[in-house]
Structure 1
Amino acid sequence: MDLDVRRLRVLYEVALRGGITAAAAALHVTPSAVSQQLGQLAREAGCELLERSGRGVVLTPAGHVLADHAKRIIGAVEQAQAGLAALRRDVNGTVRVGAFPSAAGALVAPAAARALARYPDLDIRVVEVEDQQSRLDLYSGTLDVIVLQEYDHVPTPLASDLDRHPIARDPMHLITPVGWGSRSGRLGDLRDVRWIASAEGTPCLRSTLHACRLAGFEPDIRHRAIDFALTLDLVDAGLGAALVPGLALRNVPSGVHIEPLADPVTERRIFAVTRSRGTGPRRPAIDAFLAELTATQRSDLEPVAAIR
């Protein structure tokens, strides 16, 4: 039996994304086109690959077996292409990078600019994307590099088929309304004030809660904000105190007082992730971008606003 690699990729996307509609969106085709490709693949394989489950479909045992092989086949093709590019020492082609907002602006953009200045034939494309989505896109090959974060006491585990590349440490800062006066940077002094924190289940919220508990109190959280820009606006309006990483302090309203967190000291770590290169090389284009990203300059990490 002959199996088409392109159709194997479609099957892998369905397995990875959990359904035909999500796979179609990732592949930028219609669900009907995905179904047609899978139907042809099933005929090539000589067995059913999907079965109905409620309103959707799931992979059959044969579908799971073939999807596992598809992942390895796609990886082998990628490694073959990388090996040939490494022999030619080609630093060209497209590198697709996904990152969360504060890292995308402060770290990825300057690194991309430096890489493009060094290698004019390189094409770097940056996408703002949330962590979980970026992992799926990395596995599927939609992205080549993703940038993730982990806070103290909230580790971000990686699967063994992913490689981690440290970029920077981003210390947490205490921000309060200017009208509250100067602060010491010690959380214990703010046990009786209103707080602003991130949404339930986010690493930033868990880090804030842990830091406050280390300081001996449970914060009185009155407002929730996922976007750091909203957190800054809420503090500027005098509605509470918050803990934010330094990279979030690049456009700070005048009514916000900033101090490095003195006690307990905490930070987040920012790192890039790529698919494991296995026993072979990575594409030189990816390595060229990673070299710039992991050599992040101090100026990229410093907030635009001075500590005040």
Structure 2
Amino acid sequence: MLDVRRMRVLREVAQRGSFSAAAEALAYTQSAVSQQIAALEREAGVKLVERSARGVYLTEAGAILVGHADAILARLADAEAELEALAGLRGGRLRLAAFPSAGASVMPRAIAVFRERHPAVDLSLQPAEPEDGVALLRAGEVDLALTIASTFDESSCMYGPGIEEQHLLDDPMYVILPETHALAHRRSLRLADLAEEQWMLGSTGTCPDATIFLRSCQAAGFEPRIAFASNDYPSIQGFVAAGMGLAFVPDLALINLRDDVVVRSLGARPPVRRIMAATLKGSYCSPAREAMLEVLAEVLAEVAAEFGAARRELSLAS
């Protein structure tokens, strides 16, 4: 019989690439990790891990076992959630993941509201880009993850089979410019007006916002010139203020706006990123998760109204 706890250790070794990194993540000693892997190999009757000068890697058997480990651990997490939910919202736990701009703008308020209403629920939050949040979902390490989709991807879930998404909010995209820019006096702009500009861009490998921007530029008839790539919106604002280029930024990422940049609308129907709540398809929806979905929808609507009013006031004042 394979030990589930040792399978969790194997998965950490596979994800981290070394025994020492897995030990740190699990709060084990490196020796304990090595012993757990050796014991699991005895149980499985095959070699699961090979060492090399660059770290460790899975054998074919190890890769097969890790694939099953994700599913097994996710089902165990569901079982634990169902048992905890027997007490309703008088106990249990809820584990969340959220991407950075939501973590800075929405989650503090949502968590405060949830804890005021349901103080007995053990609540935790991990910062994670959308793809990483989905990976945590699949591994059974979180119960709900905030993700991002775009108006270009409405037909199906962009994170693959096994994931369900609930639409929470359309987050409009704006352009930010240096306050000294020749077009800074306009209250709204067309993306085509900015075809010759240089741009700051979120790293395309991890940031769905970048995909929304690139497709919007394509629809406007030009290929943007990228000056710098970053997933840190405060840093992007700094580059814009320094005159290094313009940026395409979602409303939720403008919670802290510099005084030396201006925000401009892209018209009545701007590109939007769709804020989604992702869960595992077929997983048990605990009372705590259901309550958090209600809180998120409520708080996101409030934040959107507040931000929209502030953005309109800023545009009129500029």
Q: TM-score range by the shorter chain?
A: 0.7 to 0.9
Shift of 1:18: 5.2
Tell me the CA shift for residue 19 of structure 1.
5.0
Q: CA deviation at 1:158?
A: 1.9
Report the counterpart of residue 171 of structure 1 in structure 2: 172
- The corresponding residue for 2:94 is 95
| Among 198, 201, 204, the residue aligned to 1:197 | 201
CA 1:291/1:222 → structure 2, altered by over 3 Å: closer, same or farther?
same
1:132-211, aligned counterparts within 5 Å? 132-153=131-152, 157-179=158-180, 180=182, 181-183=184-186, 184-199=188-203, 201=205, 202-211=207-216
In structure 1, what residue type is equivalent to 2:227?
R
- Residue 257 (1) aligns with residue 262 (2): yes
Which one is further off, 164-173 or 235-244?
235-244
Farther off after superposition, 86-95 or 39-48: 86-95
Amino acid at match of 2:103: A
Closer, same or farther in 2 for the Cα pair 1:124/1:237, shift >3 Å? same
1:296 matched residue in structure 2: 299
Instruction: Name the residue aligned to 2:248.
Output: 243
Q: 1:263 to 1:90 in 2, by over 3 A?
A: closer
Secondary structure in structure 1 of the residue aligned to 2:133: helix
Q: Tell me what 2:58 maps to.
A: 59
| Cα distance in 2 between the residues matched to 1:28 and 1:108 | 27
Change (3 A) 1:88 1:39: same
* Structure 2: runs of 5 or more not aligned: none
Q: Identify the range of structure 1 (128-137 vs 162-171) with the bigger mean alpha-carbon deviation.
A: 128-137
Amino acid aligned to 1:170: D
Q: Does the Cα contact within 8 Å between 1:177 and 1:255 map onto a contact in 2?
A: yes
One-letter code aligned to 2:10 = L
Instruction: Name the structure 2 match of 1:34.
Output: 33
Identity across matched positions, percent: 37
Separation in 2, partners of 1:159, 1:23: 27
Q: From 222, 226, 233, give the equivalent of 2:231.
A: 226
Structure 2 equivalent of residue 266 of structure 1: 271
Letter in 1 for 2:162: D
In the superposition, the TM-score normalised over structure 1's length comes to 0.84
2 CA distance for matches of 1:277 and 1:24?
32
Q: Secondary structure at the match of 1:252?
A: coil
Please list every run of 5 or more consecutive structure 1 residues that lacks an aligned counterpart in the other structure.
none
Mark the CA change 1:33 to 1:135 in structure 2 (over 3 Å): closer, same or farther. Answer: farther
Q: What do residues 155-209 of structure 1 show as CA deviations (whole Å, max 9, x unaligned)?
A: 8722323332322110111222333342232122223344333345443333323
Going from structure 1 to structure 2, the CA distance change for 1:91 and 1:163 (only over 3 Å counts) comes to: farther
- Measure, in 1, the Cα distance between the counterparts of 2:124 and 2:242: 36
Query: With structure 2 as the length reference, what TM-score do the two structures score?
Result: 0.81
Name the Cα RMSD after superposition: 2.9
Number of positions where the alignment pairs a residue of Structure 1 with one of Structure 2: 305
The C-alpha deviation readout for 1:137-169, integer Å capped at 9, x for no partner, is: 333333332222234447872232333232211
Letter in 2 for 1:98: A
Over 3 Å counting, the alpha-carbon distance change for 1:265 and 1:43 in structure 2 is same
Residues 118 and 264 of structure 1: CA distance in aligned 2, closer, same or farther (over 3 Å): closer
Post-superposition CA distance 1:101-139 (Å, at most 9, x none)? 210122222111111111111232223233344344333
Letter in 1 for 2:199: W
The code of the aligned residue for 2:238 comes to: D
- Partners of 2:45 and 2:198 in 1: how far apart? 64
Alpha-carbon distance in 2 for matches of 1:53, 1:170: 46
Asked whether 1:127 is paired with 2:126, we answer yes
What is the rounded CA distance, in whole Å, between the counterparts of 2:135 and 2:31 in structure 1? 22
